[in-house]
Amino acid sequence: MKKIFLLFFLLPIMHLDAQDYQNICSPGTTLYKDNYKICMAFRRDSVLALGGGDTLFISYPVIRPDSPCYDTTTGSILGREVIKTASGWFWFFNASKDTIKINSLALLNQSWKFCILPGNAYIKAKVSNIIIDSILGTTDSVKVISFQAKDSLNNDIAHVLNQKFIKLSKHFGLSMMIEVFGIPNTDTTSYQLAGKSDPVLGVQNLLFHDVFDYNIGDEFQYYYGGAYFWAGRWHADYGTGDEIGMMKKIIKKILNKTWHGTDTVVYTEAVCGLYTHDYGSTWEYFPETITETISNNYFLLSFMPDEFIRYGQLAGGYDFLIDTNRFRRTLKISQGQMYQCYIPSCWGSNNNVTFQGYSNFEEGLGCTEQIVAYIWGKHYSSWGTVLVYYKKGAETWGIPLAADCAALSGISELSDPIKESIQPNPADEQTLVTVGKQFQGETFFYSLLTINGTKVKGGSTHEESFVLLRNGMPSGLYILVICDAQGNAKARTRVLFK
């Protein structure tokens, strides 16, 4: 009698437990990633009651290659529209608008028709296992739904979905999924659940305050000039400039930080750099302390992967991925105006573009790549700003341009240095150089170098002070090096002629 009572007690609990597997179109944004860490998403933009207890969920539109016109009516991984029926079924819609079905209430070994194939064949879906699986840092009960193609007589037939499977989590919805758009005959790439915004778990949509969240002491080094694309990202093409020969090497260090709400942040930064207008034949050095105000006008950071947002007759491309090359930081890429509307409602590649812009934004690193590609005929060139090194706390990445601003300018630390002063500095036509008392009565040597290391002036003296004359030298920064009689460098400092 006790066993019978226990059985009746468990039945309602099992029924309620099964309802939990219906959390497929939860509020907010759900992100998925493939093995290359490229993200796809479903964002619940609106919910409509269809009557009879059925519900329609609508996500954002994406743009994707199709023939003869690009498709702008479907959504990302789960499609643009999902219908949840009162009986626990979820209906998705592929590229041909055919119905893809998942029975969220199916029990172990229960099967159904997942989608229809030509000739009355079909893909059979079956709950082949129920496991405890790791989901976004926690564990949950998960239904493994496997596939097998069947002909009209229910015999097994060959198909790309055979032996493939998806996973349906009890509390977090689909934890492994195939992109609905391509079912049943094209891409069968599996996408793992990467993050949810409600509740907040795992990877989140990368927004303005995530990207521009620097810390005091952070250091960033950039190269502006020629750039080339390789292995999924832009790289500095050292020694090449933009279309007018401009190159820059910049070091930026964060000194102070103030947030004004969530939409504006103000940084005090120590910035130094070298720049050239003649492809590196001559360089000029600049040091400065600046105040940089960054406001939330980067509207593209709110866009989702491949989201279709048109600007008149043009539309851009937007990628979202987890960058495994930089300590698994999240990354958003704006690929400029990639698409064009040629006739009403027909979109394709923007083949008429001359300038193509690319911008990369990474968590805590700001804009890490900002590239312009210039296309004319069969010719192609690209240039822009590329982050080549950063240091955030104990975390570093890349190869630094120089150890610090002194090294970038050609001024490095010396062993047993002497004290010197230069007045005035900057100077117009001459300046007075005074060295330490330890050189009094001894002969010492001095050399004035350009920022590239070319010697333009030199001499020797045994006086404590001497006048350094400009003598028609161009305006700019020079490096003064003072050596003792044995040739050991004892001072190295900057001299600026206006």
The pLDDT, as a whole number, for residue 415 is 58
State pLDDT tens for residues 333-382.
Answer: 998 888 999 888 899 988 776 778 899 999 999 999 999 988 766 677 89
d(CA 128, CA 123): 14
CB atoms inside a 10 Å sphere around CB 468:
20
State pLDDT tens for residues 166-193.
Answer: 999 999 999 999 999 999 987 789 999 9
Rounded CA Rg of the chain: 32
Instruction: Kindly give the pairing relationship between strand 219-230 and strand 200-202.
Output: unpaired
Q: If we measure between CA atoms, which residue out of 78, 101, 87 comes closest to residue 30?
A: 78
State pLDDT tens for residues 460-489.
Answer: 888 888 899 998 888 887 888 888 776 667
In single-letter form, the type of residue at position 313 comes to: Q
Instruction: Kindly give the pairing relationship between strand 430-435 and strand 264-276.
Output: unpaired
CB atoms inside a 10 Å sphere around CB 19:
12
Q: Is the pLDDT of residue 403 over 50?
A: yes
Question: Burial level of 183, CB count in 10 A (0-12/13-18/19+)?
Answer: buried
User: Half-sphere exposure of 28 toward its Cβ, with a 13 Å CA cutoff?
Assistant: 14
The pLDDT, as a whole number, for residue 411 is 60
Q: If we measure between CA atoms, which residue out of 229, 227, 250 comes closest to residue 237?
A: 227
Q: Is the pLDDT of residue 414 over 70?
A: no
State pLDDT tens for residues 268-291.
Answer: 999 999 999 888 888 888 888 999
